[in-house]
């Protein structure tokens, strides 16, 4: 995948991409190279359920709301960077 194939990240998506890379120790991944519309799990970034738990903790600490493990929307919320950012923006404490 070259740079022109990646959808542009918003400033907030850049912030959350950096948070993902830093909190999950993904040194081999450049935050700017995370396509906001590519899957975070399996074929995309290759994250797993443990990564989701760690990410949930970091998000709750940084943005002041809980991501519930039993939320029926988690598959959609964590489907890609863009949907995760939209969820954070709708829930975070201002």
pLDDT tens for each residue of 12-61 = 999 999 999 999 999 899 999 999 999 999 888 999 989 999 999 999 99
Q: Which domain holds residue 26?
A: 9-91
Coil, helix or strand at residue 4: helix
Report yes or no on 3 lying in a domain: no
Residue 18 belongs to domain with CATH number = 1.10.1200.10
pTM greater than 0.75: yes
- Domain assignment present for 2: no
Considering the domain boundaries, does residue 74 fall inside one? yes
**Is residue 4, in this structure, part of any structural domain at all?**
no
Tokens, residue 59 = 């998000």
Asked if residue 82 belongs to a domain, the reply is: yes
Angle between helices 11-23 and 81-91 (to 10 degrees): 100
């Amino acid at each position: 995948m070259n740079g022109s194939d990646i959808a542009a990240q918003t400033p907030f998506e850049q912030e959350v991409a950096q948070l993902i890379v830093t909190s999950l120790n993904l040194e081999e991944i450049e935050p700017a190279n995370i396509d906001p519309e590519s899957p975070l799990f399996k074929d995309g970034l290759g994250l797993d359920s443990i990564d989701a738990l760690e990410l949930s903790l970091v998000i709750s600490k940084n943005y002041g709301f809980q991501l519930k493990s039993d939320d029926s929307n988690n598959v959609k919320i964590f489907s890609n960077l863009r949907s995760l950012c939209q969820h954070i923006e709708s829930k975070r404490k201002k």
